[in-house]
Amino acid sequence: MIYSFDGREPKFESGTYVSETATLIGDVRIGNNCYIGHGAVLLADQGTIEIGDGSAVEEAVVIHPPALGKCRIGKRVTVGHGAIIHARWIGDNATIGMGAVIGIAAKVGEGSIITENSVVRMNREIRAGVVARGNPAKVIREVSRKDLDFWVLGKAYYIEMAKKYLGLGITRIG
């Protein structure tokens, strides 16, 4: 469901799949070849959401930028199922694990991984190229070659799924 609000409306580029059960409201700007999953809520009623090319916002994610602010999600970012995002920015190639919370005006550096159910608290910053976990999230190590190899495949998977959903469509049977 795509809604305009207060004269602002969502826009998305070619090759981007937005599930009909996702809700996009207001100033939402999504790049090329993105995947916006079923039940995701992107609420830009007072601020702006920008999502870079090749990113995946998986099922049941909630993104809501700070009031009158911007939430910028970079290119080839994966936001895992059920995550809550109030961040100022998430750098290119970052991964946000399932159920993670990125607090108001928080920042996640390029290529970083926030593990499942971790919490990056309000106004905090996780630097580039690290893995962080816990509540509050703390850096536990540098991103490894194994991490990179795994997430390159994960990011490609959602780009392909967007193409497949757009090509085949889905059919309601009940």
Least confident of 45-49, 83-87, 169-173: 169-173
CB 39 within 8 A of CB 20: no
pLDDT tens-digit map of 56-88: 999 999 999 988 899 999 999 999 999 999 999
Q: In what order do the strands lie in the sheet with 113-114?
A: 17-18, 35-36, 56-57, 78-79, 95-96, 113-114, 130-133, 138-142
List the domain range (segments joined by +) for residue 64.
2-168
Within a domain: 40: yes
Per-residue pLDDT at 80: 98
- Classified as helix, coil or strand, 152 is helix
Number of domains comprising the chain: 1
Per-residue pLDDT at 103: 97
Within a domain: 174: no
pLDDT tens-digit map of 2-34: 999 999 999 999 999 999 999 999 999 999 999
CB 28 within 8 A of CB 10: yes
Per-residue pLDDT at 82: 98
CATH number, domain with residue 69: 2.160.10.10
pLDDT tens-digit map of 117-126: 999 999 999 9
The rounded distance, in Å, linking the Cα atoms of 51 and 171 is: 27
Per-residue pLDDT at 47: 96
Closest CA to 121 of 153, 84, 156: 84
- Phi then psi dihedrals of residue 166, to 5 deg: -65, -40
- Supply 70's token pair: 């911007």
Count of C-beta atoms within a 10 Å radius of residue 64: 20
Within a domain: 147: yes
Within a domain: 26: yes
- The verdict on pTM exceeding 0.75 is yes
Within a domain: 98: yes
pLDDT tens-digit map of 154-166: 999 999 999 999 9
Per-residue pLDDT at 55: 98
Within a domain: 52: yes
Within a domain: 126: yes
